Amino acid sequence: MQQPKNFKRLLQALAKQGLDVTYNDRTYSVRLKDSSEFDRQDACPTNTSAKTAEILLPEGFPVEAKALKQLANLAQIRHPAGGFVCKCCATPDFHPGDAGVAIGSIVQTEGMVIPAAVGSDINCGMRLHVADLSLEKFLQKRDRFVQLMKGDYFFGTRDVAMTAKTSRALFQYGIPGWLDAMLDAPTGSIVKSNLHQLADEIDRVYLGGSMNGDWKWAPEELVPDTGIVRDGGLATIGGGNHFVEIQVVEEIEDKATAFVWGVRQGQLAFTIHSGSRNVGKYIGGMWRDRAQSAWPKHLKYPDYRLFPLSVTANPNLVREYLQAEATAANYGFINRLLLAELLRLRLREVYGDLAAPLVYDLPHNITLFEGNRWVIRKGACPAHPQQPVIIPGSMGTTSYLLIGKGNSEFLSSASHGAGRVRSRFDLNREGADKSEEALGLTGVDCITLREERRIEEAPAAYKPIQPVIDVQIAAGLVGVVARLKPVLTFKA
């Protein structure tokens, strides 16, 4: 396989930063500089962090030096009390992140967690439903449906109010405990009419949609002592690459698996990509700062400024961080559930009673304990054997439902999308070609209140999905179950 386009230039840029990169059979290997100042500051005993980080990349696409540098930084994080990185790797939607951690990075640690590696967008993830409705019938009443959804997603026309008790249960327990608490929800609250189906679908949510949270970490105004909570952030899509998309199941590749998962050719489908909104921002930001404050006072900050929390040095802080992260994760699971429920209710309202079951819901921005170690995925899906994996293309291209293969070389993970190739700034700047053709928007039905969102998130902003999927199949990360074609996309 040939080397990527900008390989030589990349080597030069990275050599200046003390990084050595090789390319072999679909995979980059970033070798880190051997000695750092850090080594001399403190006896970091027997354990040292990873010396290499592997990246799976689609053939013929450039990769940014900034992203490689960020991955190298992540790989060499360690804590003087003994925490270290066991393994670090990246998926083919790899690109630089704003907060110092590249999207598509996966890091396995021992003895430490890294709040900054998860970042603000805690439990960002993907949720897929199928619906027993043909594309033809859907399009007949498309305008009415879109009008109703715009109200729900952009203007909050549906009541998602909760009692104080229910709000606390949401943060504390995630989906199951929250559904229990919903039994006494105010009348008119949207999930009340469908509690049984939502309970039946819990086993199709990663971790059962439940982590060990504590409402004490939630923003104060969302966990009052008594009264009704009206949270303007809940059941909203959010910005950036988040979306809700109506799709059609275009083609089944793995018939047996699709049958078991309840997916059939010609069905309508909808995919939700969203996370924990402001709650994750609040908790992620708080803990990034707390991890920095907990860094040993007598040591200089490491130059990458990504601070781990050590199990040996600060066991309580590690426990509390994981609980705080879980609190935001619970909110993320329920946000996606509500976005889907709003859509399912409107489908039934417009097209009559129809089945629209959940296929799967999985996070791609989260710390998970797997095989006795922490695995932190930043824009990467878990892809364990037999597990459903959802990888969306841009709003103009195919999305994929896949089955995980549990490739340990890539820490049982897969990409969470195609990966951005052009920055928002680049696409929006003066003088840029903003024609439909140049942006790949021809024939794309994008519902948004903001024109700049269509431009920032246009198909031209992303890699084509096909090579991104192909390289992951070739490397044994996933197998294709079904292809989903976009029909229309909601972007906030």
Distance CA 210, CA 245 (A): 25
Catalytic choice (79, 95, 129, 416): 416
The distance of closest approach from Cβ of residue 153 to DNA in the complex, given in angstroms and rounded to an integer, is 12
| 394 labelled ligand-binding | yes
Task: For DNA, give the closer residue by CB, 54 or 231.
Answer: 231
| 244 labelled ligand-binding | yes
Distance CA 222, CA 237 (A): 18
The distance of closest approach from Cβ of residue 281 to DNA in the complex, given in angstroms and rounded to an integer, is 5
Long-range contacts of 227-233 (CB under 8 A, 24+ apart): 227/163, 227/164, 228/161, 228/162, 228/163, 228/164, 228/186, 229/161, 229/162, 229/163, 229/164, 229/166, 229/167, 230/161, 231/160, 231/162, 231/167, 232/156, 233/277, 233/278, 233/279, 233/335
| 296 labelled ligand-binding | no
The distance of closest approach from Cβ of residue 454 to DNA in the complex, given in angstroms and rounded to an integer, is 12
| 451 labelled ligand-binding | no
| 156 labelled ligand-binding | no
| DSSP type of residue 190 | G
The distance of closest approach from Cβ of residue 365 to DNA in the complex, given in angstroms and rounded to an integer, is 8
Which sign does the torsion angle of CA 363, 364, 368, 373 carry?
positive
The CA–CA distances, whole Å, from 347 to 201, 307, 459 equal 18, 46, 27
Task: For DNA, give the closer residue by CB, 325 or 456.
Answer: 456
298 is annotated as an active-site residue: no
Q: Strand 309-310 and strand 243-252: pairing? A: unpaired
CA max distance for the chain: 70
The closest of 123, 4, 158, 161 to 67, measured between CA atoms, is: 4
Task: For DNA, give the closer residue by CB, 165 or 422.
Answer: 422
Task: For DNA, give the closer residue by CB, 278 or 399.
Answer: 278
Task: For DNA, give the closer residue by CB, 124 or 291.
Answer: 124
Interacting residues with DNA (CB under 7 A):
98-99, 103, 119-121, 124, 232-233, 238-242, 274-275, 277-278, 281, 379, 423-425, 428, 456
| 245 labelled ligand-binding | yes
The distance of closest approach from Cβ of residue 298 to DNA in the complex, given in angstroms and rounded to an integer, is 31
Annotated binding site for Mn(2+): 121, 242, 273, 364
Annotated binding site: 121, 241-245, 273, 364-365, 392-395, 399, 416-419, 491
Annotated binding site for GMP: 241-245, 364-365, 392-395, 399, 416-419, 491
Annotated active-site positions, please?
416
